[in-house]
Copies of this chain bind each other. A is one copy, B any other.
Amino acid sequence: MNKKEIDGETKLTPQITDEILKLDNQLCFAFYVCSKEILKKYRPLLEPLGLTYTGYIAMMALWEQDNINVKELGNKLYLDSGTLTPLLKKLESQGYVTRTRSVENERNVFIKLTEKGQLLKNEAVQVPLKLIESVGCGVENGEQLVSQLHKWMELLAKEMP
């Protein structure tokens, strides 16, 4: 599909319509499948740690920067409080984090790793290692793609005019 075919000037023939709606041409579908399939690979590796994938990335964010509020955590993870609140309550019940409402500004709830949560890091580090092994992809291969995807993340996450 070239530029000419998809701009407003060109008439949408049946052939062009078919090409535009072909599943294999959809970037969104490729993202969607890659995301789902990779999450499926993580699930059995995370299960022994008692973590779901969302719990895992929340812990990763906290291992990088501890003691942040729900809003900040949501910015890092691209998630909102509707998803995070129940998740963080679960992590709290598992003893990995504490949730404390700030006294300076009672709107903020700060999330802090417990000792158990900090120690989990040493087991969690095995997860990406095992995954790379099981998928059998080159690491260098992935690095280039990650930086490319980060550009798309920014592009897609910013709201349109």
Contacts and interface: CB of A to CB of B under 8 A. Distances in A.
Most buried by B among A23, A28, A35, A155: A28
Interface residues on A, range: 35 or more
Interface string A19-62: 01111111111111111111101100000000001000100110
Q: Could you say how many copies of this chain the assembly holds?
A: 2
Given A21-B63, A24-B150, A64-B22, A155 B129 contact: no
Given A28-B39, A32-B38, A38-B156, 15 more contacts: A6-B139, A12-B125, A20-B125, A21-B121, A21-B128, A23-B64, A23-B76, A25-B146, A27-B142, A27-B146, A29-B60, A34-B35, A37-B156, A135-B155, A145-B152
